[in-house]
C-alpha cells in the first residue's frame, strides 16, 4: 500500500477556509488504489459496513450513503437499533459483525468507548482485519492507537468523532452541516479522514493522537455539564412554583451561549464577575437552605464550584481585583447569608 501524501495531491481542491471539497475523497482514494494491488474497489466508491446502529452509526451511515457510497451491511442487536437501521438505512441488511468486516472496504465502528478496544482486538485475534481496509471509529476518547490490530494487519486506521449530540433521527442529518469532527490519522492517511468528513457534510478538525482525551474532556465538560446545569436551574425554578422553567431560561441561555461563543469570556456578566459579594453570599446561603429542604447537595455543590472557577478566571483576566476575588471566595464559604471574612 503506497503512502498518501499529507498535503493535497495535484488536482485536489480545497475551500477557502481549508475544508475539503466533496470530490477530494475520490481523488485521494483513486490515487491510492491505482497504486495498490491489494484492494479491488470501484474508483471513488466504497462499500461501507456499519458496526453499531446506535444513534451515531445509523445517521453517519445515512450521510455516507447519500454521498454516493454503498452501505453493504449494518449490525443491530436491540429492537431500537433495528428500527433505527430500518428508518435511516432502508434496504441495508442486518448482518453479523464478522460478515460486515469480511465484506466492507470501509468499516465504521460506532460503538461505546468502553466497548471499542475489546471489539477491535477480538476481531484482530480472529484475523478479521484485511490489508488495505479502511477502519474508522467514532469515539471521542480514542485516537488511532486503539486500532493497532487494524494497522498490524495492513489496514488504514481513522478516528472520526462528530462533535455533536445525536437523537438517532433524521433531524440529525441537517445538523451535520454545522458539525465539526475531531479527526486523527497517520499523516499519510489524514486526507482520507478529512475528506470522509466533508462527504458527510461536516468540517474536519485535526486532533493529535496525544490530545484525544483532553479534546473529548473539553466537549463533555461543555455539552454534558451544560445539560446538568440547565436541569438544576429548572429544578430550582420549579421548586419555587414557576410553571414553565424552560420558558424563563430559554432566552437567557440562548443569548448567553451565543455571546460566549462570539465574545469568549468578555461576555461574562453577573454578580461574581462584578464582585457583588453580598449577592453571592445570599445565593450560597439560599442554596444551602434549598439543599437541606431537598436532601440533595448537587445544585449547591455545582454552584459553589462554578462560582469559584468563574471568580478565579475573572481575577486572572483582571476583571476582579485581588480584594474582590477574596471577598467572593469568602462569600461562597459563608453559610449565614452575609459576606464572609477570611481569617
Q: Are 270 and 299 contained in the same domain? A: yes
Burial class (CB in 10 A: 0-12, 13-18, 19+), 328: buried
Distance between CA atoms of 281 and 262, rounded to whole angstroms?
Answer: 30
* 238 lies in the same domain as 193: no
Helix 298-316 to helix 277-294 angle, to the nearest 10 degrees? 160
Q: Beta strand 134-137 with 156-162: parallel, antiparallel or unpaired?
A: parallel
Same domain, 158 and 43: yes
What is the rounded CA–CA span in Å between residue 163 and residue 223? 10
d(CA 164, CA 140): 11
Residue 3 has pLDDT above 70, yes or no: no
Rounded CA-CA distance 206/6 in Å is: 12
Q: Is the residue at 188 inside a domain?
A: yes
**Within its chain, how far is the Cα of 224 from the centroid?**
10
| Mean pLDDT computed over 275-301 | 96
Let me know if residue 15 belongs to a domain: no
pLDDT of the residue at 28: 58
From CA 139, how far away is CA 60, in angstroms rounded? 13
Which of 185, 207, 229 terminates a domain? The answer is 207
Nearest-CA neighbor of 182 among 225, 142, 150, 146?
Answer: 142
Q: Where are the alpha helices (DSSP H) in the chain?
A: 23-34, 55-66, 79-88, 97-103, 116-125, 148-152, 171-175, 190-199, 212-219, 225-239, 245-263, 271-274, 277-294, 298-316, 322-333
Helix (H, G, I), strand (E, B) or coil at 35: coil
Residues 31 and 97 in one domain: yes
Same domain, 192 and 54: yes
Measured between alpha carbons, how far is 114 from 52 in angstroms, rounded to an integer?
14
Q: Do 176 and 236 belong together in one domain? A: no
- Residue 145 near residue 135, CB atoms below 8 Å: no
Q: Which of 175, 207, 239 is the last residue of a domain?
A: 207
Residue 319 lies in a domain: yes
Verify that 66 and 201 share a domain, yes or no. yes
The verdict on residue 46 lying in a domain is yes
Q: Does residue 131 share a domain with residue 27?
A: yes
Q: Could you tell me if residue 13 is inside a domain?
A: no
pLDDT value at 15 more than 80:
no
Domain membership of residue 261 (yes or no) is yes
pLDDT, tens digit, for every residue of 105-117?
A: 999 999 999 999 9
In a domain, 3, yes or no: no
What's the whole-model pTM score?
0.84
User: How many domains is the chain partitioned into structurally?
Assistant: 2
Please report whether residue 38 resides in a domain: yes
Do 185 and 220 fall within a single domain? no
Indicate whether 200 and 249 sit together in one domain. no
d(CA 88, CA 102): 23
Q: And the C-alpha cell for 308?
A: 469559584
Q: What is the pLDDT of residues 234-249, one digit of tens each?
A: 999 999 999 999 999 9
Contact (Cβ atoms closer than 8 angstroms) between residue 199 and residue 177: no
Domain match, 154 and 27 both = yes
Mean pLDDT score of the chain: 88
Q: Which range of residues forms the domain containing residue 185?
A: 23-207
φ/ψ region of 183 (left if φ > 0, alpha if ψ in -120 to 50, else beta) reads beta
User: What are the tens digits of pLDDT across the range 184-241?
Assistant: 999 999 999 999 999 999 999 999 999 999 999 999 999 999 999 999 999 999 999 9
Instruction: Give the CATH number, domain containing residue 76.
Output: 3.40.50.720
**pLDDT band, residue 334 (cuts 50/70/90):** confident
| Last-in-domain residue among 183, 207, 231 | 207
Q: Are residues 201 and 308 in the same domain?
A: no
Amino acid at each position: 500500500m503506497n503512502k498518501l501524501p499529507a498535503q493535497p495531491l495535484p488536482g485536489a481542491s480545497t475551500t477557502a477556509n481549508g475544508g475539503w471539497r466533496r470530490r477530494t475523497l475520490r481523488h485521494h482514494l483513486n490515487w491510492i488504489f491505482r497504486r495498490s494491488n491489494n484492494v479491488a474497489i470501484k474508483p471513488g466508491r466504497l462499500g461501507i459496513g456499519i458496526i453499531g446502529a446506535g444513534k451515531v452509526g445509523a445517521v453517519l451511515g445515512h450521510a455516507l450513503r447519500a454521498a454516493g457510497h454503498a452501505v453493504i451491511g449494518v449490525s443491530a442487536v436491540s429492537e431500537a437499533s433495528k428500527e433505527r437501521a430500518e428508518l435511516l438505512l432502508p434496504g441495508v441488511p442486518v448482518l453479523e459483525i464478522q460478515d460486515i468486516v469480511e465484506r466492507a472496504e470501509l468499516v465504521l465502528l460506532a460503538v461505546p468507548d468502553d466497548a471499542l478496544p475489546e471489539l477491535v482486538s477480538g476481531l484482530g485475534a480472529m484475523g478479521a482485519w484485511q490489508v488495505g481496509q479502511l477502519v474508522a471509529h467514532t469515539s471521542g476518547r480514542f485516537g488511532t492507537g486503539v486500532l493497532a490490530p487494524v494497522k498490524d494487519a495492513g489496514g488504514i486506521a481513522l478516528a472520526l468523532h462528530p462533535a455533536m449530540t445525536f437523537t438517532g433521527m433524521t433531524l440529525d442529518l441537517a445538523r451535520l452541516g454545522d458539525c465539526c469532527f475531531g479527526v486523527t490519522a497517520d499523516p499519510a492517511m489524514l486526507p482520507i479522514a478529512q475528506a470522509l468528513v466533508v462527504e458527510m457534510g461536516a468540517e474536519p478538525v485535526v486532533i493529535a493522537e496525544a490530545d484525544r482525551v483532553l479534546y473529548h474532556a473539553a466537549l463533555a465538560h461543555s455539552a454534558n455539564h451544560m445539560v446538568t446545569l440547565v436541569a438544576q436551574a429548572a429544578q430550582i425554578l420549579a421548586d419555587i412554583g414557576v410553571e414553565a422553567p424552560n420558558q424563563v431560561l430559554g432566552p437567557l441561555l440562548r443569548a448567553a451561549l451565543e455571546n460566549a461563543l462570539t465574545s469568549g469570556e468578555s461576555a461574562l456578566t453577573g454578580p461574581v464577575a462584578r464582585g457583588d459579594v453580598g449577592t453571592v453570599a445570599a445565593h450560597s446561603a439560599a442554596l444551602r437552605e434549598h439543599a437541606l429542604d431537598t436532601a440533595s447537595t448537587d445544585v449547591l455543590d455545582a454552584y459553589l464550584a462554578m462560582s469559584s472557577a468563574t471568580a478565579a478566571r475573572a481575577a486572572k483576566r483582571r476583571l476582579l481585583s485581588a480584594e474582590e476575588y477574596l471577598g467572593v471566595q469568602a462569600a461562597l464559604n459563608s453559610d449565614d447569608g452575609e459576606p464572609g471574612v477570611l481569617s
